[in-house]
Structure 1
Amino acid sequence: MDRSSAEKRVRELHDLLSQYNYEYHVLDKPSVPDVEYDQLLTELKELEEAFPDLQSPDSPTQRVGGAVLDQFKKVTHRSPMLSLGNAFNEADLRSFDRRIRESMGDHVSYICELKIDGLAISLRYEDGLFVQGATRGDGTIGEDITANLRTIRSIPLRLRQPFSIEVRGEAFMPMSSFLALNEEKEKNAEEPFANPRNAAAGSLRQLDPRIAASRNLDIFLYGIGDPGETGVESQSEGLNLLSELGLKTNNERRVCPTIDDVISYVQEWTERRAELSYDIDGIVIKVNSLAQQEELGFTAKSPRWAIAYKFPAEEVVTIIHDIELSIGRTGVITPTAILEPVRVAGTTVQRASLHNEDLIREKDIRLGDHVIIKKAGDIIPEVVSVLKDRRTGEEREFQMPTQCPACESELTRLEGEVALRCLNPKCPDQIQEGLIHFVSRNAMNIDGLGEKVVAQLFREKLIEDVADLYRLTFDQLIALERMGEKSAKNLLEAIEQSKENSLEKLLFGLGIRHVGAKAAKTIAQYFETMDALAHASVEELLQIHEIGDKMAASIVLYFDNEDVRELLAELKEVGVNLTYKGPRLQKVTDTNSPLYGKIIVLTGKLVQLTRNDAKEKIESLGGKVTGSVSKKTDLLIAGEDAGSKLSKAQELGIEIWDENRLLEEISGQEV
């Protein structure tokens, strides 16, 4: 066959195989037997071997290819992949609906989707070609697992239209694949996976794509990164578009006009979940209108327009054999129940949190008790109650110690708190937990430094504080038990890369009391350098809307410590970045601005500004933009077709501006 004929046949085979693959893996309606598909695929492979230049990235032969990776690269998502707030009962769902309708009025409908129990991922297509796939990670930065995702046959390597689009979904392992995988593991005397979710996550984080390919994973797509670019006006339209593009969506979704319809859908699938060939752990409920989603906005962690209903947790009976104490990085002593191993919600549970001494006393928990345990939200094991009628008289009361189990310092209960604390800053367990926090994903994100490795380094006295991490050498690491040459090199490289992190990562990693990841970013963006923050007063910190008295006092107290100042000097000496690298925040210098210190709500359609532009300009002049009208609201900016928020503002007597008035004030301040 000459090249011209081969090129024509390759195109024909691409089209045929892609269509057959779509019918089999997306529509679940195969039109040809497997043997015919395999024959065509073999023919295509032979043509590509004879004419290598005809092989393209979207070829059906390229499902598994490429070398084994050394490590996964980091990927910054174009828009954040936020987590959802949870609902556990009908009351939670009705409360969610009430909040939505208070903001949007009664013209709201919802879309309900099955919550697939798998691994959240993002896929990026350029001109229809699949170019990158990533894990959710911390919501902002994930890991590039493109090679592994290419092995999932329900992911098209080329869309049915030449769209450039980023889509989100859930990769999962069907129950049949999970059972076959665990059967194989048991034959090989290997430990089986606890559940399909863990199996899917473990498969997609293999550095060898051939392993992922052997696991027969699947996917459902449920969202578009930036739906505004597509012209769709609702979540249901967005899902229909994904299907038209050849992406696999879940057909069990339903648009529900009322919260009663939502609750009926939830009840239906609570009963029917066992019928499915894959695991679900709840229902996702979203406001269907994208315009309403935008108006409702987001909190720091999750969208206000969506919630995840979690199925009732499975409850089982087991025995408490012992209670262990652990010391967290803030010195809090946490008791943990050591249980007779028991299966619950798909995993074997041996430990359950008891939270604090008061809970142990309140539930009258004793060593040897039979107890009912459950996984809160199907995740965290907790003790529900004690079966006192099963007591034999041999059960023993548990006494909390008066001294720290790690350093023997006296334990203290601070005023207003239920937790016991060790207040010794040199407590070894607190230091070790602080190190584990410092290297964690949301902090400095150092690959290869898990809890066990940190504990090993601390035990061997190779690290005593976070600065010591940056002084580790290859010879020190290679001498550690179970640390190979390649692992040592990768770890040193990851530590070196972490030096370049933006300031907010370091700030969160330092573990300042009351400062979470979101607050750390806000503070870093405002002060820009560690030195400026370290010299900030309480009054300066309170200029940031998100910072309250307690957090401001905690930050000032932290940087007033001589040991902290020495640690920062050490970090600077070893080359750790101490500056903010993200988009700069325009500082508010004019406290006479009419927007300064005001809580402002935007509603309706703005003509001359985008919603984000308006928000940025307001915040640059000292205003704070929120998503709903309340008695605390100072000002409403009403665009075209303003609805219930305008009516509510009028009822409450809140000052109202139109877009032109806002532009006048902004331009007057910018002159």
Structure 2
Amino acid sequence: MTDAQPDEHTAEHPVEHPAEHPVDELTRDAARAEVEALTTRILELRDAYYARDELLEDDATYDALVRRLELIEHAFPELQSQDSPTQTVGGRAETTLFAPVEHAERMLSLDNVFSADEFAEWAAKVERDANRPVAYLCELKIDGLALNLRYERGVLVTAATRGDGRVGEDVTQNVLQVAGIPTRLAADAVELPELVEVRGEVFIPKAAFDELNALQREAGEREFANPRNAASGSLRQKSEGKNAAQLARMQDRLSRLRMLVHGIGAWPNPPVAAQSEVYGLLERWGLPTSPYVEVHDSVEGAAGFIARYGADRHSVEHEIDGVVVKVDELELHDELGATSRAPRWAIAYKYPPEQVNTKLLDIVVSVGRTGRATPFAVMEKVRVAGSEVRQATLHNQDVVKLKGVLIGDTVVLRKAGDVIPEVLGPVVELRDGSEREFVMPTNCPECGTPLAPAKEGDIDLRCPNARSCPAQVRGRVEHIGSRGALDIEALGEVSAAALTQPLVPSIPPLETEAGLFALTIEQLLPIEVVVTDAETGLPKLEADGSARRRSPFRRNTTGAEKKRGLEGPQPSSAALTLLAELEKAKSKPLWRLLVSLNIRHVGPVAARALADWFGSLDAIRAASAEELAAVDGVGAIIAEAVQDWFAIDWHVEIVDRWADAGVQFSTPGHPGPGAADAAGGVLAGLTVVATGTLEGFTREGAQEAIIAAGGKAASGVSRKTDFVAAGPGAGSKLAKAEQLGVRIIDAAQFAILVSEGPDALPAPTE
């Protein structure tokens, strides 16, 4: 197989890119500024989708951003970098949850088409380039999570998410609990290869998804937005730190997952001639394959398959969002080749989203952690594209006017990309005169501060009361506990709301996040919050009509405890867990603390780059904009954002109070800015690359161990590399090290290297 073997996630653009936005009037400086802004936004959307399973924009909006970037780069080729979103696969390799795994062969995306005409144009180009008859394999496009199974001599070694196509997350332990995935391939007449990677999609069947959400409702927890979100969230769970009940729920969620495989990678010469024969081979090996696969020897036959399932898409037991069509002949795969992101021998036909009518009950305004005020449509519950919908974003007041909707209208609703609910417009002929116009509030609905655009010309309105607006404080506190920041399981949506917007006491324990690490049991016990209905989001009422209250951080004293002399309310397990987790978070890596500060544009990638280079928050604050921008992975936009953040007094108060509470804003043993060149440490002057899974170290832990020992933790192998520490899952870096003659060590030797230095290593064997 070639390295163009894709997973079945689509790339972010259709095959054709109409010039919707002329760029001929842009100056070079204006073009550069727009490229930077577009790149930042696209990466934010990608990170949210691939790393946090969040969908911040619909497909059409995302596609428009990518198309605009492509047009500017076409007009100004010198502005296109190798790591531009237009040149890379959608995900990122950066992982904060699991150890990294390098795929032996790239996992690419697929380009999209959205109409029969576009599909016919793609097929015509394929047949023109092939210059011979072409057969097409057609299969349903599963709306799931791409997974790569690595088998060595028939034994499952690792299971990894796609990541950026080259490096994914090691989810092997969780995958072992997914039914139908064999740990050992069934031997048959074809000898099992030394190494083979099997690609497929993990998903949750519709019936299991409905059952899971019913359990979420019963537990009073947030429901999953869609089956893909449920599948990804279930597979990307860590068992560490969970109690028995949480582990049982994790096991239950994993048991509901299924997988179907659709391709092979990292096998240079498979004993088959067609993609359909590959599927037969996978099935004989005992791997689960889709029953919805057909081979057609004409474009018309493939188009018929697309039309048939488009008309009956919900008859399938899992969610689909289209059809994947592949050239069946494997030899043609090599001849047709691939771009940097997608093969030319395959395409994804995306079905148009379904539309239904429902009643627009109200338009409410929500304020997020950045202060943006967003109108939301509140509707009568309706089922669309396989799930029930009650709310949809309306983006801003101009969008509300453009759509022409009135409160009380019957509106047309669809799911953009079959995922994000979108109100298309009103059914005007059904109006009865009772409808009323939406009026955007002039003040923040949470704190009363006048709303205003962040800068002249902005359409969005924001609450400028960033320090004290309860909605923004709640959002920032919730972000601090998120997986990408400090990863505090007890600090989620409910806890953040209780700490910042309780019913009791009148003054919340956290007026800003500055007091987070100084929280005490005494501050948590008085907290009471309103109990809301998971189905409607409305407060539950007592018999007298008052809002029902609950105390998330306290419980009543039991009879046995009273006998032991305990009186009054006692801390709940949630309260004790939160304080214990906060105490542990004080010594978490510097990059995680940087992310938790909510500095604009500073996500895990930029935070790690800053932490690795400077080693302490004091050094970052002391650096000039030029010094910050010069760090690989930072740049001018992030450098300016960092300096702007520290120029605000209440931001500095957060840092000071966290430090007073014991938060460690430095990497132990780090020699200071420019660690790779600084003296000191057993690895001073040495460059080390860590690749694959190293027992005893996470990816972050291995890098931090190298830096702490005074060495440079490099991401790529070159002639300047002194050591490559390689574990299971090591791929191209290991091969390059062997080619260049760089010394390769295992996990046990790596532990010796970072603690005692190179002289303590045993002599290399021939």
TM-score bin (small chain): 0.5 to 0.7
SS at match of 1:378: coil
Mapping of 1:197-346 within 5 angstroms? 207-208=247-248, 212=252, 217-222=257-262, 227-228=265-266, 236=275, 242-243=282-283, 245-250=285-290, 252=292, 266-267=306-307, 269-271=309-311, 273-283=313-323, 296-297=339-340, 310-346=350-386
Structure-2 residue corresponding to 1:428: 470
User: Equivalent residues in 2 for 1:434-453 (5 A)?
Assistant: 434-453=476-495
Contact preservation (8 Å) 1:502, 1:580: no
- Report what 2:81 is aligned to: none
User: Counterpart of 2:705?
Assistant: none
Residue 330 to residue 120, structure 1, CA distance change in 2 (3 Å)? same
1:470 equivalent in structure 2: 517
The residue aligned with 1:575 is 663
User: Structure 1 counterpart of 2:640, which letter?
Assistant: A
1:495-525 C-alpha deviation (Å, 9 max, x unpaired) = 4554555444433333323445554455555
Residue 412 of structure 1 aligns to a residue whose secondary structure is coil
Show the counterpart of 1:49. Answer: none
Name the CA distance, whole Å, in 2 between partners of 1:164 and 1:353: 47
The answer to whether the 8 Å contact 2:353/2:385 transfers is: yes
Mark the CA change 1:576 to 1:246 in structure 2 (over 3 Å): closer, same or farther.
Answer: farther
Q: Are the structure 2 counterparts of residues 351 and 274 from structure 1 closer, same or farther at C-alpha, using a change threshold of 3 Å? A: closer
- Letter of the 2:141 partner, please give it: K
Partner of 2:424: 384
Q: Distance in 1 between matches of 2:210 and 2:447?
A: 47
> 1:97–1:259: 8 Å Cα contact kept in structure 2?
no
8 Å contact from structure 2 (residues 368, 475) kept in 1 = yes
Asked if the contact 2:116–2:303 (Cα under 8 Å) also holds between the matched residues in 1, the reply is no
Cα distance, 1:278–1:410 mapped onto 2, change above 3 Å: closer
Residues 366-401 of structure 1: CA deviation (Å, up to 9, x unaligned): 211111111212222121011222222221112212
Deviations 1:248-268 (A, max 9, x none): 233645799999998776445
- 1:565 maps to 652
- Maintained 8 Å contact 2:358/2:380: yes
Q: Cα offset for 1:335?
A: 0.8
Secondary structure of the 1:208 match is helix
Partners of 2:363 and 2:378 within 8 A in 1: yes
Instruction: Rate the CA distance shift 1:186–1:448 in 2: closer, same or farther, 3 A.
Output: closer
Tell whether 2:203 aligns with 1:172.
Answer: yes
Q: Which amino acid aligns with 1:575?
A: V
* 2:244 corresponds to 1:156: no
TM-score under structure 1 length normalisation? 0.60
Deviation at 1:290, TM superposition (A): 8.9
Contact 1:558/1:564 (8 A) holds in 2:
yes
- Determine whether 1:405 maps to 2:445: yes
How far apart, in 2, do the equivalents of 1:90 and 1:151 lie? 36
CA 1:313/1:499 → structure 2, altered by over 3 Å: closer, same or farther?
A: farther
Amino acid at match of 1:89: F
| 1:517-561, Cα deviation, whole Å (9 max, x unpaired) | 554455555555433433333333444676565444333211222
> 1:370: which partner in 2?
410
| Whole-angstrom distance in 2 between the partners of 1:526 and 1:410 | 41
Are the equivalent residues in 2 in contact too, given 1:341–1:349 (CA < 8 A)?
Answer: yes
My pick for the range that moved more, 478-487 or 374-383, is 478-487
The secondary structure found in structure 2 opposite 1:411 is coil
Match for 2:466: what amino acid? P
**Number of residue pairs matched by the alignment:** 515
The amino acid of 1:440's aligned partner reads S
User: Residues 303 and 421 from structure 1, CA distance in 2 versus in 1: closer, same or farther, beyond 3 angstroms?
Assistant: farther
Question: Which residue of the partner structure matches residue 662 of structure 1?
Answer: none
What's the offset of the Cα at 1:455? 0.4
Q: Which residue of 2 aligns with 1:89?
A: 114
Match of 1:531 among 611, 615, 618: 618
> Which amino acid counterpart does residue 155 of structure 1 have in structure 2?
I
Q: How does 1:505-520 map to 2 (within 5 A)?
A: 505-520=592-607
Tell me the distance in 1 between the aligned counterparts of 2:512 and 2:323.
44
Q: How do 1:133-152 residues align onto structure 2 when only pairs under 5 Å count?
A: 146=173, 149-150=176-177, 152=179
User: CA offsets, 1:630-654, max 9 Å, x none?
Assistant: xxxxxxxxxxxxxxxxxxxxxxxxx
**Alpha-carbon deviation of 1:450?**
2.0
Q: Cα RMSD (Å) of the superposition?
A: 5.6
Structure 2 contact 368–472 (Cα < 8 Å) conserved:
yes
Amino acid at match of 2:414: K
Q: Tell me the residue number matched to 1:361.
A: 401
CA distance, structure 2, for counterparts of residue 244 and residue 581 of structure 1: 54
Deviations 1:610-668 (A, max 9, x none): xxx99876999xxxxxxxxxxxxxxxxxxxxxxxxxxxxxxxxxxxxxxxxxxxxxxxx
Deviates more, 1:268-277 or 1:432-441: 268-277
Aligned AA (1:419): D
Q: 1:318 to 1:482 in 2, by over 3 A?
A: same
Q: Give percent identity, aligned residues only.
A: 36
Tell me, yes or no, if the aligned pair for 1:112 and 1:255 is still in contact at 8 Å.
yes
Cα distance, 1:431–1:192 mapped onto 2, change above 3 Å: closer
Q: Separation in 1 of the partners of 2:182 and 2:177?
A: 8
Cα deviation for residue 472 of structure 1 reads: 3.9
Going from structure 1 to structure 2, the CA distance change for 1:538 and 1:113 (only over 3 Å counts) comes to farther
Whole-angstrom distance in 1 between the partners of 2:325 and 2:625: 41
Q: Secondary structure of 1:422's partner?
A: coil
What's the counterpart of residue 454 of structure 1? 496
Q: Which is further off, 127-136 or 324-333?
A: 127-136
Tell me which amino acid in the other structure corresponds to 2:517: Y
Are the equivalent residues in 2 in contact too, given 1:524–1:580 (CA < 8 A)?
no
Cα deviation 1:107-165 (Å, max 9, x = unaligned): 7999865332345556566764557767889998869684684361x222322368677
Matches within 5 A, 1:107-126: 113-118=139-144
Question: 5 Å matches for 1:51-62?
Answer: none
Deviation of the 1:89 alpha carbon: 2.0
**Partners in 2 of 1:342 and 1:107 — Cα distance?**
47
Q: Which stretch of the first structure deviates more once superposed, 434-443 or 210-219?
A: 210-219
Kindly provide the amino acid, as one letter, of the partner of residue 150 in structure 1. Q
Q: Partner residue of 2:48?
A: none
Q: Secondary structure at the match of 1:114?
A: strand
Q: Hey, what's the Cα distance between the residues in 2 that align with 1:585 and 1:268?
A: 60
C-alpha distance after superposition, 1:417-458 (max 9, x if no partner)? 110111122222212112222222333332232212210122
Distance 1:145 1:168 in 2: 14
SS in 1 for 2:424: strand
**Does structure 2 conserve the Cα–Cα contact (< 8 Å) formed by 1:318 and 1:370?**
yes
Q: 1:277 to 1:77 in 2, by over 3 A?
A: same
TM-score normalised to structure 2 length: 0.54
Structure-2 residue corresponding to 1:595:
none
Residue-by-residue CA offset, 1:348-371 (whole Å, 9 max, x unaligned): 222111100111122222211111
Equivalent residue letter for 1:443: A
Moved more, 286-295 or 413-422: 286-295
Secondary structure, aligned partner of 2:247: coil
The match for 1:75 is 98
Match of 2:691 in 1: none
Structure 1 unmatched runs, 5+: 1-72, 590-612, 621-671
Bigger mean CA deviation after superposition, 352-361 or 73-82: 73-82
Bigger mean CA deviation after superposition, 424-433 or 274-283: 274-283
SS of 1:396's partner is coil
Between 1:490-499 and 1:415-424, the stretch displaced more is 490-499
Q: Distance in 1 between matches of 2:138 and 2:620?
A: 45
